[in-house]
Structure 1
């Protein structure tokens, strides 16, 4: 890797790591796993920097999605304890955020990932399907099932989720 390539990579990481870290947390539900997920994706990105330097964020996000899928296939699903929070200053909607975090933690990793891509990353159904290697109909049905499960797990989120979403 040339010095210019290294500088470009370092600039990318400095500029986008906070946003990528938030997505990684939403995908995993765990701060430590999120750090590992982002680190793994960035390791892949640095190896392919010459090829991806024009759109590295898309590459890193896709790498995170795929790595997260690989992880769910290899490990048993466990709930994340609220004790894993790092003590950050709570946001004004702390109760709502904690309720949502608890409900998301009880979804399957696939359901959680689809919801993160659709509603946090604001990807279309087609883009989500492409990113996860699923069919569009699978994304649609998983989204519908996930939202129904959230309504059951946390009825207080009904206004946030919407009645017909």
Structure 2
């Protein structure tokens, strides 16, 4: 009798999976829509994740997680115009969660860097790379507000909704972040230096 029990369970599982599987046409349509969305938006979403995380490897991991969660809930998304906002929210939440994990706090900085390929954006003349180094020095929440407000050009209300905070908090975090950026930005990167 015990030899037959696993066989029955396997049969029951396969029946359940068959009963709950979406119709083939719907699944193919969903995959095609998701693939089309990825082709159009993946590069921009990776840039946003990189700016929020400050690290390319972590940005790729966070975006992969966000896209996996999006795929799993693709059929539940009613407003197709809000998909980017949904992914940005996941990216910010995953980045915040990563900072809270114990293994992150155990990492140690070293004087010796590993040999890796360096990624440079094609449009960067060097000045913006130095400026983004200053942005990356901000605390994670302040960096997320700066990226969403000024890089993604979201309104204060959209930023608040994405981060799950109030509009007043967005305003105060923006002011605090901009003040820190002014203090930390080297003189040669200040716009007033270019006017002279």
Normalised by the length of structure 2, the TM-score is: 0.71
Unaligned runs of 5+ in 2: 1-21
1:33 has 2:55 as partner: no
Kindly provide the CA deviation profile for residues 52-110 of structure 1, in whole angstroms up to 9, marking residues without a partner as x: 2624323222221222222233344988x8x877243654521x122212211211011
After superposition, the Cα gap between the structure-2 partners of 1:88 and 1:155, relative to the gap in structure 1 and judged at 3 Å, is closer
- SS of corresponding position for 2:171: helix
- CA RMSD of the aligned region, Å? 2.5
Q: 1:110 aligns with which of 110, 120, 141?
A: 141
Q: Is the 8 A contact 2:146 2:177 kept in 1?
A: yes
Moved more, 69-78 or 104-113: 69-78
Q: Is the 8 A contact 1:30 1:84 kept in 2?
A: no
Unaligned runs of 5+ in 1: 161-165
Q: Is the 8 A contact 2:85 2:162 kept in 1?
A: no
1:21, 1:92 → 2: CA distance? 16
1:23, 1:93 → 2: CA distance? 19
Q: Is the 8 A contact 2:86 2:162 kept in 1?
A: no
Normalised by the length of structure 1, the TM-score is: 0.83
